[in-house]
């Protein structure tokens, strides 16, 4: 990672930092209203993004309807285009809220988390966090992605290590690293991630990684909402090579400044070939992802990116990005 950057990149990073500073000092209700308005505008100005989100979200809703899971609005969206469109617009608003939460990260205090976050699985959280030793926490592009790390830092006082995709903007990259580092997360790049994460686990530390989307292109096809999707093998390989307990963690929004979080164990098969154990782990992980997304499908903002290869065929939407 270079220490340079163009003048435009430095200006952009300064504007982001300034916006974050200002956001941390404005009323929360005003900020949420602005984020929702930005999400609505985004929905109208990004037809290609909306088309992909619509396809992916429809698939999720059809699966939920078939399984009898998820909110009534999500099941209705499986066969009602108007209901699907309402859910899609909500998804745009929720992704805008995520970027607001990133900007507000420096101002989130332990007291804020304790007051605003309800833990739905306290027995699993107690089992995994009230112990020493290594732990692998898997997240997904869902809800308030920053809050699990903030909760972890407050609850345990331990510093997790997490990979972050390097963006082609060194000053902005450094801002993200400083922001996440200030709340107790050690960031490593994707290229050195496996080595760094394994070393952290060997030291008995906690590692976290987001694994519901194949970024590098080496994912293993795994059934997800009824269709094969390439999922990163990283969490399975870390669990296999380290023997560390593994869980999926997620936090969703339940109102303005209100959240509910859950943590679920993911077990590595005890027997079988290496590949069988990896694919078995990924199947269990995908099932955990499905249960998380079922609680609030419009908060799974991975829908705006490629998930299922069969939905990315050129015939779907020429010129879409």
**Percentage of the chain lying above the pLDDT 90 cut:** 68
Would you state the pLDDT for residue 181? Answer: 63
Q: Strand runs (DSSP E) across 157-299, as ranges?
A: 161-164, 186-189, 206-210, 220-224, 227-231, 246-255, 258-265
pLDDT band at 183 (very low <50, low <70, confident <90, very high): low
Using 50, 70 and 90 to split pLDDT, how confident is the model at 166?
low
CA-wise closest residue to 285 among 245, 242, 231: 231
13-17, 98-102, 317-321: which has the minimum mean pLDDT? 317-321
Which has the higher per-residue pLDDT, 172 or 47?
47
pLDDT score recorded for residue 182: 62
The sign one gets for the Cα dihedral 178, 179, 183, 186 is: negative
Question: Are 242 and 196 within 8 A, CB to CB?
Answer: no
Identify the pLDDT of residue 3.
56
pLDDT mean over 289-299 = 98
**Where is average pLDDT lowest: 129-133, 167-171, 240-244?**
167-171
Q: Give the confidence band of 319 by pLDDT, cuts at 50, 70, 90.
A: very low
The pLDDT of 266-284, averaged and rounded, is 96
Across the range 22-30, mean pLDDT stands at 89
pLDDT mean across residues, the chain: 90
pLDDT surpassing 90 at residue 215: no
Rounded mean pLDDT of 166-170? 67
- Fill in the DSSP letter of residue 262: E
Q: How far, CA to CA in Å, does 68 sit from each of 28, 61, 100?
A: 36, 10, 33
pLDDT value, residue 34: 95
* Long-range Cβ contacts of 9-15 (<8 Å, 24+ apart): 9/169, 9/170, 9/171, 9/172, 10/171, 12/169, 12/171, 12/172, 13/169, 13/171, 13/172, 13/174, 13/175, 14/171
Residue 243 has a pLDDT of 95
The whole-number pLDDT of residue 146 equals 86
Name the β-bridge partners of 188. Answer: 163
- pLDDT of 187 reads 84
Please state the domain extents for the chain.
7-308
Of 183, 206, 208, the residue nearest 130 (C-alpha): 206
| pLDDT for 7 beyond 90 | no
Higher-confidence residue of 22 and 55: namely 55
What is the mean pLDDT of the segment spanning 280-303? 98
- pLDDT for 2 equals 45
Asked if 53 contacts 88 with a C-beta cutoff of 8 angstroms, the reply is yes
The larger pLDDT score, comparing residue 12 to residue 78, is at: 78
Mean pLDDT of 129-143: 95
DSSP codes, 293-313: HHH-GGGBGGGGS---GGGG-
| Residue 270 clears pLDDT 60, i.e. is over it | yes
Residue 316 above 60 pLDDT? no
pLDDT higher than threshold 60 for residue 321: no
Residue 186 has pLDDT above 60, yes or no: yes
Among 80-89, 156-165, 254-263, the least confident range: 156-165
């Amino acid at each position: 990672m270079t220490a340079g950057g163009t003048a435009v990149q430095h200006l952009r990073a300064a504007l982001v930092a300034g916006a974050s500073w200002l956001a941390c000092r404005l009323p929360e209700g005003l900020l949420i209203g602005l984020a929702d308005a930005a999400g609505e505008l985004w929905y109208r100005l990004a037809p290609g993004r909306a088309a992909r989100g619509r396809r992916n979200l429809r698939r999720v809703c059809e699966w939920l309807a078939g399984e009898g899971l998820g909110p009534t609005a999500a099941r209705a969206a499986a066969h009602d285009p108007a209901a699907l469109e309402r859910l899609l617009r909500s998804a745009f608003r929720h992704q805008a809220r995520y970027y607001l939460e990133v900007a507000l990260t420096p101002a989130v205090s332990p007291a804020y988390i304790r007051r605003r976050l309800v833990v739905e699985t306290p027995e699993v959280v107690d089992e995994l966090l009230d112990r020493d030793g290594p732990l692998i926490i898997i997240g997904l592009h869902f809800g308030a992605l920053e809050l699990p790390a903030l909760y972890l830092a407050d609850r345990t006082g331990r510093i997790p290590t997490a990979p972050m995709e390097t963006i082609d903007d060194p000053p902005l990259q450094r801002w993200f690293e400083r922001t996440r580092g200030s709340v107790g997360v050690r960031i490593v790049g994707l290229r050195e991630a496996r080595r760094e994460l394994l070393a952290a686990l060997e030291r008995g530390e906690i590692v976290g990684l987001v694994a519901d989307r194949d970024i590098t292109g080496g994912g293993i096809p795994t059934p997800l909402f009824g269709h094969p999707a390439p999922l990163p093998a990283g969490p399975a390989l870390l669990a296999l090579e380290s023997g560390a307990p593994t869980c999926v963690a997620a936090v969703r929004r339940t109102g303005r400044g209100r959240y509910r979080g859950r943590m679920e164990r993911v077990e590595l098969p005890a027997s079988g070939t290496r590949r069988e154990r990896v694919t078995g782990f990924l199947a269990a992980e995908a099932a955990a992802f499905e249960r998380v997304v079922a609680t609030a499908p419009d908060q799974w903002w991975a829908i705006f990116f490629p998930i299922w290869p069969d939905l990315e065929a050129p015939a779907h939407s020429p010129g879409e990005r």
